[in-house]
A and B are shown apart, each in its own frame.
Chain A
Amino acid sequence: MAIQTSSDSWREPPRPLRTWSPFGSLKRTRRLYNVISATIALFVVAFAVFPIVWTALTSFKPESEIVTTTIRYLPETVTFENYQTLWSRSDYPRLLRNSGIVTVLTVSMSLVIGTFAAYSISRYRFRGRGGLMVFYLVIRMFPFTLLLIPLFIMLRKIGLFDTHFGLALTYTTFLLPLCVWMLKGFFDGIPPDLEEASRVDGSTRLGALVRIVLPLARPGIAATTVFIAIGAWNEYLWALLLTTSSGARTWPVGLQLMVGEFQMPWGTLSASGIVSIIPIMIGFAFVQRALVSGLMTGGVKG
């Protein structure tokens, strides 16, 4: 039961017959609420977006305009030197590539494992099903540090420490609950009759899943993919501990390493921030509607 969020389904407020209203006529009351809402929305959006705009502006400023006593809001001279420095004179391209690999690994593992689990929970009523859903939630409650140390020791023992795969395995586990929740919501929205029909025609259960359910759930799967990808792409603390060399280090760790003690390379930092959030923005823009509905279904029902 996905909750519709498409903007065209937002209904016009109805016209009530009679209402007591503190501001005189009803029309004026409604207009007043509209003005208040619009003002609040404007402020909230400005609050949410301003830091990103400011970082973008900073990334196009030359050093002399960033480190200055008289702050200029818009760059006087637009320069790309911060981006050039980042690209040619830092480790950043490699860090982005590492993050990309880890993200792709995480997404593939989460989707395969998560699809199976979510499908099972959505379609079958078996013993322990309810407990399983709660259990997935409880995973989020364990303190990061408690898991971290044994995992650190374990990964070192089995040789997955400081590897893309080791990091991806960890991310998969922690993103799995959310992945299962979202996918279950999307699978619930597909009528089981279709699989019944295909099974009567002699298809196996696995065949029905692959040929009937997955194609229908494509928008939901896309949204889940993006959400997991964002989670893996953004992650900082695990990566900080589970990678040590530039061979597996991801960009959030690298970015934080650029931060010096005294002299902050603000221009390059801003540029790297902007570069690394572009994929997030693009991904979010593509699946925004299904993503929001998937998150909300998981949230509202959970």
Chain B
Amino acid sequence: MSTGAPAREGQTPRTRPKRRFSIVDPLVAVTEGRYWAYLLIAPSLVLVGAVVVYPVIDGILLSFREYRLNRPALGTPWIGLEHYRTMASDPIIRTALRNTLVWVTVGSISQFLLGLIAALALHRPLPGMALARILVLIPWLLPSVVSANMWRLMLDSRLGVVNDVLIRINLMDTPRAWFTSPDWALFEVLGVELWKNFAFFTLFIMAGLHAIPQELYDAASVDGSGAWRRFRHITVPLLMPVIVAAVILRVIGLFNSPDVLLILTGGVPGNATQTISLYGFQTAYLKFDFGYAASISVLALACLMAFTVVYVRVSGVTKE
């Protein structure tokens, strides 16, 4: 039920007491007019238009131009597909794409699994669980600058507590220099990322679990279904919509935010932790090559869009 859809506003106003003329009348006319619903939306649209839509279009156009902030003498000439040609032969792009694939896949799967396990455990009504449910959310709320530096301190090769613990419990003989091995650095950063964001899944899955009617489990138990069957045939199917939504949000998050990588490794060693979003950022921020950075971002956007379309098709969910 709506209080007055715009369509209904052709009617004369209902029993309104007789009014004298006042300066609020024009305002009243606006709020009672048929465009009221649109007027309420308008400020947000203006803002989004100015800060998102216009820059996106401008950014895409920029990818066809030469634009170097540190070389104003070059001007901003139109160079067509030149940047895209450069990109095709840029070895860093290839590495970055491969790393992005690993970063997003391993990141979202590991965070999902830990998030699911945590949610299932925390969902059990035991004493202290209410507090535990709050505590696990904290890493997710912390700023990436603080989280990344916390882990830098803990993973320091000489002063780090992680090395100390691992040596004490005999898992290692010598201290490990974290984030320096080209083979492992990306996975080590993914470990930090796991800590930071698994709770995102926990939050969503706990909500999903809570929305499942207990009667379903009761009925299944009466029918003699064991725990695994209940999980398989009730929990999993009913959680699916939540999981599907959470995964796409997290994939977008992993794909688009280079801040943890930027703080922890900045792409090194070599380009072992270089991802497409980080490369785009560094091309703009360190090399001031805005045109090339824009074209890298267009590539990133194309990848993400393609993934989203396929994902929505395959998972069969259409958002309301």
Give the B-binding residues of A (Cβ under 8 A): 3-5, 7, 10-14, 16-22, 29, 33-34, 36-38, 40-41, 44-45, 47-49, 51-52, 54-55, 58, 66-69, 71, 73, 112-114, 116-117, 119-121, 123-126, 130, 132-137, 139-151, 153-154, 169-170, 172-174, 176, 180, 192-193, 195-196, 199-200, 202, 204-206, 208, 230, 233-237, 240-241, 252, 255-256, 259, 264, 266, 269-270, 273, 276-277, 280-281, 284, 288, 292, 295-297, 299-302
Contact = CB atoms under 8 A, between A and B. Distances in A.
Given A141-B304, A205-B31, A270 B153 contact: yes
Contact of B44 (A114, A124, A149, A153): A114
B92 interface: no
Q: How large is the interface on B (under 10, 10 to 19, 20 to 34, 35 or more residues)?
A: 35 or more
Nearest to B139: A48
Given A38-B126, A273-B150, A147 B55 contact: yes
B259 A269 contact: no
Q: Is the interface of B mostly helix, strand, loop or mixed?
A: helix
Given A51-B151, A281-B138, A302-B319, A41 B210 contact: no
B224 interface: yes
Given A120-B40, A234-B144, A51 B221 contact: no
Contacts of B187: none
Contact of A113 (B6, B47, B161): B47
A67 B153 CA distance: 11
Contacts of A241: 285
9 contacts: A48-B136, A68-B159, A124-B2, A140-B252, A143-B297, A149-B294, A151-B51, A205-B31, A256-B263
A302 B281 CA distance: 30
A300 B226 contact: no
Given A255-B146, A264-B153, 19 more contacts: A13-B125, A14-B221, A19-B226, A38-B126, A52-B139, A117-B40, A117-B43, A125-B2, A145-B283, A149-B62, A200-B15, A252-B144, A259-B149, A277-B143, A284-B141, A292-B137, A299-B204, A299-B207, A300-B211
Given A41-B129, A154-B55, A266-B153, A145 B118 contact: no
Would you list the 8 A-B pairs with minimal beta carbon distance, nearest first?
A16-B221, A296-B207, A234-B143, A146-B297, A120-B40, A7-B130, A150-B55, A150-B58
A67 B1 CA distance: 66
B177 interface: no
A113 B43 contact: yes
A84 B185 CA distance: 36
B48 A143 contact: no
Contacts of A14: 214, 217-218, 221
Contacts of B285: 240-241
Contacts of A176: 44, 47-48
Nearest to B199: A48
A65 B59 CA distance: 50
Nearest to A29: B227
B277 interface: yes
A251 B217 CA distance: 49
A116 B122 CA distance: 37
Contact of B40 (A55, A66, A116, A154): A116
A137 B248 CA distance: 11
Contacts of A17: 221-222
Nearest to B291: A149
Nearest to B114: A44
A28 to B, nearest CB: 13
Given A144-B281, A192-B2, A288 B59 contact: no
A170 B51 contact: yes
B38 interface: yes
A67 B132 contact: no
A21 B229 CA distance: 12
A274 B300 CA distance: 35
A141 B305 contact: yes
Nearest to B48: A173
Find the residue from B15, B41, B246, B301 having the highest chain A CB count within 10 A. Answer: B41
B52 A139 contact: yes
A180 B121 contact: no
Contact of A21 (B5, B226, B293, B320): B226
B255 to A, nearest CB: 8
Interface string B304-318: 110010000000000
Contacts of A288: 134
Contact of A134 (B122, B263, B319): B319
A173 B118 contact: no
Given A41-B132, A154-B55, A301-B320, A120 B37 contact: yes
B294 A145 contact: yes
Contacts of A205: 3-4, 31-32, 36
A38 B120 CA distance: 11
B19 to A, nearest CB: 9
A125 B38 CA distance: 11
Contacts of B294: 145-146, 149
Contacts of A20: 224, 226
